[in-house]
């Protein structure tokens, strides 16, 4: 039997040790049975996935809140399901996330406090894995804090202010104001932002370690509140539209992790930050705007705002940084949630190599992806306009996730390796997982970090 031991760094005024046994059994659900002999609890399951390992760490720390020492005893058959460092990394993550409980404050300041533990081991590989789990937990909590805060607290300008306070080694922060973007020709982003009294921003986090030979650009949709604009949404779940900046939050979380883990690649995180509001200045259906790339776009629905923001920022990323890999992530279409629920985010793009790496990365961290098509004649037909170079969607909703990605593809250079991740259903309501008992999930932080790790290891 293999034993792992963890000690709380905060004194609980209790020297108690609690032990939990992991064994293979007939159950398909992850439940802690405390009515067992020889241990304080037992978890028996047909198999243990990476998601299970993350949740087990959470269960341990949240069940035995006052125990100073937690021990996990794994049968050899259970241990063989994952490498020891994989067990430790994801257990560490679950332990660290177990105390997070968002509390509202009228401030943009982020408080990503983890439940602090130490691991009892002299094995450097396990120590490193434990550290990585804690880094990922803290980084994801940064993303969750950003998403959890309401739209009157986190908006484009305050989003930037919140991120400016984060210490990230080898990382330079800069941003463009709305007036600067208007002068440069960000017609899509500014066209959406102009309906709000709050100016838009484009945030750039440039992690550039010495000797890096590969450049990765991560682009996140940061619509800090989405009313739908003139194409205003219905009342149902309008209050959740503060999560429409989940992609940008994930990019910030991933950059925090990448910097702490000191990956040997250059990673540029770009966040297009806007509010989408209806007003006398707001963009209207039927309007035509000229994008940063020079293409003219006919607006069909102002509630298809995210793709307009992403298209400009993606073009800027390519023109400014010439990345080897371009990756965008966005809560883009309700169609992805309808198709895949909360089991997968959708994956589209033009690079089989990058899509394969993303799938492996997603499976390795339990943020899996399901590939969907782009570029088919029927999707392109939805983008034909009588009044502009392209329109940004169709009047009907047929294939809308693929149509949106096909639109984005119009702003990707032919030789640019690119993928698009539509995480529409994943940023909120992931309560089927123990590590997300309520509110935002910070989805994408693990995925983007893991993908950059996989690229760096090539």
Q: Which domains does the chain have, with CATH numbers?
A: 2-92 (no CATH), 138-457 (3.40.630.10)
Q: What is the pLDDT of residue 443?
A: 97
The 3 state secondary structure assigned to the chain is CEEEEEEECCCCCCCCEEEEEEEECCCCCCCCECCCCCCCEEEEECCCCHHHHHHHHHHHHHHCCCCCEEEEEECHHHHCCCCHHHHHHHHHHHHHHCCCCCCCCCCCCCCCCCCCEEECCCCHHHHHHHHHHHHHHHHHHHHHHHHHCCCCCCCHHHHHHHHHCCCCCCEEEEEEEHHHHHHHCCHHHHHHHCCCCCCCEEEEEEECCCCCCCEEEEEEEEEEEECCCCCCCCCCCHHHHHHHHHHHHHHHHHHHHHHHHCCCCEEEEEEEEEEECCCCCCCCCCCEEECCCCCEEECCCCCCCHHHHHHHHHHHHHHHHCCCEEEEEECCCHHHHHHHCCCCEEEEECCHHHHHHHHHHHHHHCCCEEECCCCCHHHHHCCCCCCCCEECCCCCCCCHHHHHHHHHHCCCCCCCEEEEEECCCCCECCCCCCCCCCCECCCCHHHHHHHHHHHHCC
**Considering 233, 295, 359, 433, which one is annotated as catalytic?**
233
Which residues in the chain come in under a pLDDT of 50? Answer: none
Known catalytic membership, residue 307: yes
Known catalytic membership, residue 233: yes
**Considering 18, 182, 307, 355, which one is annotated as catalytic?**
307
Q: 31-78: per-residue pLDDT in tens?
A: 999 999 999 999 999 999 999 999 999 999 999 999 999 999 999 999
Question: What pTM, to 2 d.p., does this model score?
Answer: 0.97
Q: 330-381: per-residue pLDDT in tens?
A: 999 999 999 999 999 999 999 999 999 999 999 999 999 999 999 999 999 9
Q: What is the pLDDT of residue 354?
A: 98
């Amino acid at each position: 039997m293999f034993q792992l031991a963890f000690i709380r760094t905060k004194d609980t005024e209790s020297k108690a040790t609690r032990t939990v046994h992991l064994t293979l059994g007939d159950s398909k659900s992850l439940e802690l049975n405390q009515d067992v002999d020889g241990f304080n609890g037992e978890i028996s399951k047909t198999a243990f996935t990476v998601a299970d390992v993350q949740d087990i760490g959470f269960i341990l720390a949240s069940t035995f809140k006052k125990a100073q020492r937690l021990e996990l005893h794994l049968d050899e058959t259970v241990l063989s399901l994952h490498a020891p460092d994989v067990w430790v990394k994801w257990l560490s993550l679950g332990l660290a996330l177990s105390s997070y409980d968002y509390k509202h404050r009228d401030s943009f300041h982020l408080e990503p406090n983890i439940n602090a533990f130490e691991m009892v081991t002299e094995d450097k590989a396990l120590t490193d894995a434990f550290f990585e789990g804690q880094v990922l937990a803290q980084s994801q909590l940064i993303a969750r804090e950003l998403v959890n805060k309401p739209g009157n607290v986190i908006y484009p300008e305050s989003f930037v202010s919140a991120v400016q306070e984060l210490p990230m080694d080898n990382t330079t922060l800069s941003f463009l104001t709305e007036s600067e973007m208007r002068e440069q020709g960000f017609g899509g982003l500014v066209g959406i932002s102009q309906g709000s009294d709050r100016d838009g921003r484009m945030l750039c986090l440039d992690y550039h370690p010495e000797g890096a030979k590969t450049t990765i650009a991560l682009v996140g949709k940061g619509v800090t509140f989405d009313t739908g604009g003139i194409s205003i949404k219905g009342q149902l779940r309008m209050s959740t539209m503060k999560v429409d900046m989940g992609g940008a939050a994930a990019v910030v979380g991933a950059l925090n992790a990448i910097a702490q883990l000191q990956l040997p690649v250059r990673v540029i995180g770009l966040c297009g930050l806007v509010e989408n509001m209806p007003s006398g200045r707001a963009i209207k259906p039927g309007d035509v705007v000229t994008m940063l790339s020079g293409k003219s776009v006919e607006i069909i629905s102002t509630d298809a705002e995210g793709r307009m923001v992403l298209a400009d920022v993606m073009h800027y990323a390519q023109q400014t940084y010439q990345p080897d890999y371009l990756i965008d992530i966005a809560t883009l279409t309700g169609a992805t949630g309808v198709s895949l629920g909360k089991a997968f985010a959708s994956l589209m793009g033009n690079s089989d190599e990058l899509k394969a790496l993303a799938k492996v990365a997603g499976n390795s961290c339990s943020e899996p992806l399901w590939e969907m098509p782009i570029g088919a004649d029927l999707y392109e037909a939805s983008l034909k306009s009588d009044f502009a170079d392209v329109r940004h969607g169709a009047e009907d909703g047929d294939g809308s996730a693929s149509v949106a990605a096909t639109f984005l593809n119009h702003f990707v250079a032919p030789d640019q390796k690119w993928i698009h991740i539509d995480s529409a259903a994943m940023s909120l309501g992931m309560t089927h997982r123990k590590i997300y008992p309520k509110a935002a999930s910070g989805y994408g932080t693990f995925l983007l970090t893991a993908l950059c790790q996989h690229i760096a290891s090539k």
